[in-house]
Structure formats: C-alpha cells, structure tokens
C-alpha cells in the first residue's frame, strides 16, 4: 500500500502528543494532521489506529543479533533473520554491531553489510555498521574476547574505511589506550561516531577525548570505570559532559531502574538513547548460545558468559526498552520516543531522513497499543510487520 492514512492515533511529535492522523505516499510522510478526519467506511487506504500510539520507527545503534542469528555470521540469511525479528518489535533502522574478533572476520562483516545494503532490504534497514572493538581495554572486556583485543590501529581503520566508505557509522574504543586520541580525531573528521566503551578511562582522559571529538558512550554504566566522588571516572564524564551522548540498556538487568531515572535527569533531552545490545539469543528460549566465539548461558532471559558469569549482551527489544524506561523514569510516551528514534537518528546522521514524524521524512513508523505492544511496523511506507490482533 503506497498511499494510505493512519487515523485515530496519538502521534509522538517532537516529544509531544498530537491526536490525529498521518498520511503516507510513495514511502514518505506527506502530512501530519490534528483532529478527526471524515472517512468512508469502504476506504481501504485508511488504517484505524484505534486510539493507540504512532511513533517514529525505533533506531537501534547497538545490536548484535536476534532469533538465532548474529551479525558476525556475515551472510544475507542471518541479516534477514535479525532485521525481521527486530522489526516485529518496532525497529526500522539498526547498526550491525560487531564483536572484538580478528580483523579478517570484521572485514567480512563490513563486506556482508555493504552487500546487504546494496539490495532491497525486506525488513528493518541497516543504517550501517557499529564496530564495537577491537580497540578496547583489557581491564573491561565484558563479554568481548580478550584474545583478539588490540590497541587502536589507525592504519587498520583507514583500510576498512577506504574499502567501505560511508559504511562505518560508529566505533567503540577505550580512550585511554595508546593511539586512541589520534583515532578519535580521525573519526570526528570523517563523521563517524567515536564512542567510549569497555574502558578504564579516568575523568580527565574522557575530557581530553571529548576535546578530540569523542561524542558518545556505549551501554553507560556497563564495562567501564564507574563513578567515584573523588575520581568521577568514565561514568562521571558521561553524566556531566553534554558533548557526550549516552547509550542505555533499559532492561532492568544491566542498569537499575533508579539509575535509569538518574541518567534521564542528568543528560540533556537530546543526548540519551536507548539500545538493546541484543545478541542471537533474543527471541529464543533459555539455553546455551555463543557470542563473539564465547559460550553464553541464557537463564530467565538473562545472558551471561558461561565460564565467567559476565553479562553477555541482552535479549532486549526496543519495544521492551521503551516500556521499561517509561516505567522507571516517569517520562511520557512522546518524551521517551525521543530516546528510541529522534536522538539515535541525530547521533548517526540520519535526522534529515528519519527519526521523527514530519512531512518529507521516510515513513518509518510503528503503531502501538495503549499498553505499548507493537501492532504494525512500516519501513519506507512498506508494512514489514503486522500483529495478528491488528
């Protein structure tokens, strides 16, 4: 359906609620109208939102996989599986996120993602690649494999970028490691998000990194130096430096609800995004899985390294993250939608195309019930998921 209107919905527009309808034509939003519009009972181009919520499609800048597939699998079948699964939970754009692996395996992911983006993508679109590592701290490996960790190697990054220009959208590194500040400066000059993560950076190092162009922090509070009142550390810099965008895994396991509320108060409205950090086990039953070549045990939906017990990604969806953050923070649905759509779009340079509901933007939309259950997802005006109840 290329020309349709979604009516009788509460629309999230720039953090506020507008009751009305949204018209879509040829993949773009053409109008957002407040109030009730008269429609014919036989008009098949009108979708009744039944008083639910219409939000901009979710944008997940940190996701490793889902429903048994991992982006490190580096093939179209796996990427279809991941994008299909997460589109069922409202995600319309995501970054294929790598693990700390040998350089040749990371290059295969770049090759596969580039090829995947060159053809029509049937579900959620890949907005690019997020390289999580391998340039991280040996002291904060989390669920990353220490065997393949290396210090920042700008020659290697330049090689990847030259082979696949405009594909790498974000890179996670430890700012305290030798060569990191030079790499951060290069990333900033090339329009790539430089994100601190898996890091032991002290506060002063984080500030120097922000001066060099560091502009984000992955899974804030996890796998990094924490907050101390005499040495604010990585977390202290993320909470207080408005240049640094913060990612948050809002699943109640990685971060306590009270801390979600805290970061919601500390960060400016445009400098916080929700992510899933979902691994291949997302959407599946408890059992044994693998992440970055390491065995993972999922119990009660929580994934941990089998041998060490470290949290290993998550089984979170953006749909669930939205609900949990609202519950923890007390934010309204339109306010929280900034964290799932508008802010991540701005972070990775897609704000002109998507991330908000305005005329001229891509028709990347998600329809939810009052209980915030996903009913339908559209990517570029194409329905990629519709629940049986819708």
Model confidence pLDDT, tens digit, residues 5-44: 999 999 999 999 999 999 999 999 999 999 876 665 456 6
Domain assignment of residue 11, given as a range: 3-54+356-386
- Tell whether residue 198 is among the known ligand binding residues: yes
Task: Please give the average per-residue pLDDT across 129-148, as a whole number.
Answer: 97
We report the CATH number of the domain holding residue 233 as 3.20.20.140
Same domain, 17 and 93: no
- Tell whether residue 311 is among the known ligand binding residues: yes
Q: How many domains does the chain have?
A: 2
Same domain, 369 and 336: no
Rg of the chain, C-alpha, whole Å: 20
Gap between the Cα atoms of 184 and 263, Å rounded: 24
Same domain, 36 and 75: no
Same domain, 296 and 184: yes
How open is the CA angle 379-380-382, to the nearest 5 degrees? 65
Specify whether the CB–CB gap between 7 and 17 falls below 8 A.
no
Model confidence pLDDT, tens digit, residues 120-131: 999 999 999 999
Same domain, 245 and 104: yes
Catalytic annotation, pick one of 73, 241, 277, 364 = 277
Same domain, 165 and 181: yes
Same domain, 141 and 31: no
Specify whether the CB–CB gap between 278 and 315 falls below 8 A.
yes
Residue with tokens 């506060």: 203
Same domain, 274 and 177: yes
Beta pairing, strands 382-386 & 374-379: antiparallel
- Tell whether residue 358 is among the known ligand binding residues: no
Q: Catalytic residue at 48?
A: no
Q: Taking all residues of the chain, what is their mean pLDDT, rounded to a whole number?
A: 96
Residue with tokens 């790539």: 192
Model confidence pLDDT, tens digit, residues 97-121: 999 999 999 999 999 999 999 999 9
We report the CATH number of the domain holding residue 382 as 2.30.40.10
Name 340's bridge partners. Answer: none
Same domain, 36 and 116: no
- Tell whether residue 90 is among the known ligand binding residues: no
Check residue 44 and give its pLDDT.
62
Confidence at 374, pLDDT banded by 50, 70, 90? very high
- Tell whether residue 272 is among the known ligand binding residues: no
Indicate if the alpha-carbon torsion angle 125, 127, 129, 130 is positive or negative: negative
Same domain, 322 and 197: yes
Same domain, 167 and 27: no
14 CB contacts (<8 Å, ≥6 apart)?
A: 334, 338, 342, 356
Q: How many Cβ atoms are within 10 Å of 285's Cβ, its own excluded?
A: 7
Same domain, 18 and 120: no
Confidence at 388, pLDDT banded by 50, 70, 90? confident
């Amino acid at each position: 359906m290329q020309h349709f209107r979604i009516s009788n919905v509460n629309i999230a527009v720039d953090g506020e609620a507008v009751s009305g309808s949204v018209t879509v034509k040829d993949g773009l939003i053409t109008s957002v109208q407040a109030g009730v519009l008269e429609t014919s009972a036989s008009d098949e181009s009108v979708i009744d939102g039944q008083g639910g919520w219409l939000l901009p499609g979710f944008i997940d800048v940190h996701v490793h996989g889902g429903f048994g597939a991992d982006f490190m699998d580096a093939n179209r079948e796996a990427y279809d599986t991941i994008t299909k699964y997460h589109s069922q939970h409202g995600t319309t754009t995501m970054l294929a996120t790598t693990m700390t692996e040998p350089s040749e395996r990371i290059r295969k992911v770049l090759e596969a993602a580039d090829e995947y983006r060159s053809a029509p993508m049937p579900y959620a679109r890949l907005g690019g690649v997020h390289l999580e590592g391998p340039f991280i701290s040996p002291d904060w490996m989390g669920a990353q494999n220490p065997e393949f960790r290396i210090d920042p190697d700008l020659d290697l990054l330049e090689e990847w970028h030259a082979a696949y220009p405009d594909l790498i959208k974000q890179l996670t590194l430890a700012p305290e490691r030798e060569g990191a500040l030079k790499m951060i400066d290069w990333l900033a000059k090339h329009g790539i998000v430089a994100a601190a993560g898996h890091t032991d950076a002290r506060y002063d190092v984080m500030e120097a990194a922000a001066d060099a162009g560091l502009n984000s922090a992955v899974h804030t509070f996890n796998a990094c130096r924490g907050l101390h009142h005499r040495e604010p550390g990585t977390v202290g810099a993320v909470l207080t430096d408005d240049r640094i965008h913060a990612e948050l895994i809002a699943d109640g396991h990685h971060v306590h609800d009270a801390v979600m509320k805290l970061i919601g108060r500390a960060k400016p409205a445009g400098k916080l995004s929700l992510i899933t950090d979902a691994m291949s086990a997302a959407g599946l039953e408890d059992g044994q899985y693998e992440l970055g070549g390491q065995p993972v045990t999922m119990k009660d939906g929580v994934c941990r390294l089998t041998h060490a017990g470290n949290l290993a990604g998550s089984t979170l969806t953006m749909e669930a993250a939205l609900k949990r953050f609202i519950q923890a923070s007390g934010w309204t649905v339109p306010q929280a939608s900034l964290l799932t759509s508008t802010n991540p779009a701005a972070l990775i340079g897609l704000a002109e195309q998507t991330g908000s509901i305005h005329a001229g933007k891509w028709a990347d939309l998600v329809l939810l019930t009052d209980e915030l259950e996903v009913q339908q997802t559209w990517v570029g005006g194409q329905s990629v998921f519709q629940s049986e109840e819708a």
